[in-house]
Amino acid sequence: MDALRGAPVTRPALGQALGSMFLCAMVVAQVMSGLSDDPLPFTGVVVALLAVSAVGFAAAPLGWPRAVAAFGAAVAVGYLAELVGVHTGFPFGAYHYTGALWPQVGGVPLVVALAWGGMGLAAYGIGAAVGGRAGVVVGALALTAWDLFLDPQMLRLGLWVWAEPGPYRGVPMSNLAGWLLVSLLVMVVVRRIAGRDRPVGAGLPALYTTMAAMETLGFAAVFQPPDPLVAAVGGVAMGTFAALGWRRLWLR
């Protein structure tokens, strides 16, 4: 009878399946966003799908308690950094959110904190593939590379405003320094929860790679008007870290 029922679904298989399912849903939502005349309503949907996909992929190797705890820690670090940032200008530079994204707590949209959690785990997957203390730095750089896409896109949508626009599509260089600092903290916290040098499999790197590809395609050909500069800079940056992570995974 047991043979007729087939093999039971293991917890790692369930996490991998959920991660893959929500990753596909996220790609569909991103395509719809890129083709829509009003992409703003898709922002929260894309981030929510990203977050669930990341937790699912993380749960496959780590287990659900660790995966949820790591995601929650990344969300908390990101939210606190944004909260301090909008009220003090540290560490990103002086900026504020508009009223486009709701709900907000303390002037910070909650969807922004979820984005820190989802992409924080995805970038951690790249760093974990590299392994060791170097993986923390690689993961932080990989997460910072995502902002080369994120900030120009969100400025297009009018989601936040810089007090003093900078040279990179209106983004000041202080923002990248702040991102790297916060990203390092995210990697340290997530690594401690996940367990040092614990392998995370291919799910999280796949999520990171998919995001890199979608953002590159979006800026190169889908968004109106296209922006070849952002597509090239962000694509090379995220693509480099994705390739580094996959190379280490394949060598193993």
Q: Write out pLDDT tens, residues 56-96.
A: 999 999 999 999 999 999 999 999 999 999 999 999 999 99
| Residue position matching structure tokens 């593939």 | 129
Task: State residue 80's pLDDT score.
Answer: 98
* pLDDT at position 4 over 50: no
Task: State residue 126's pLDDT score.
Answer: 97
The per-residue b/e assignment along 34-57, b for 16 or more CB within 10 angstroms, e otherwise, is beeeebeebbbbbbbbbbbbbbbb
Q: Both tokens of residue 147?
A: 């902002």
Calpha distance 58→67 (Å, rounded): 5
Task: Please give the backbone phi and psi of residue 196, each rounded to the nearest 5 degrees, phi first.
Answer: -60, 130
Mean pLDDT of 30-55: 94
Task: State residue 11's pLDDT score.
Answer: 65
Question: pTM of the entire structure?
Answer: 0.94
What integer best gives the mean pLDDT of the chain? Answer: 93
Task: State residue 197's pLDDT score.
Answer: 72
197 or 82: which leads in pLDDT? 82
The per-residue b/e assignment along 140-158, b for 16 or more CB within 10 angstroms, e otherwise, is bbbbbbbbbbbbbbbbbee
Work out the percent of the chain whose per-residue pLDDT is above 90: 88
Cβ proximity of 200 and 223 under 8 Å: no
Calpha distance 175→181 (Å, rounded): 10
119 or 199: which leads in pLDDT? 119
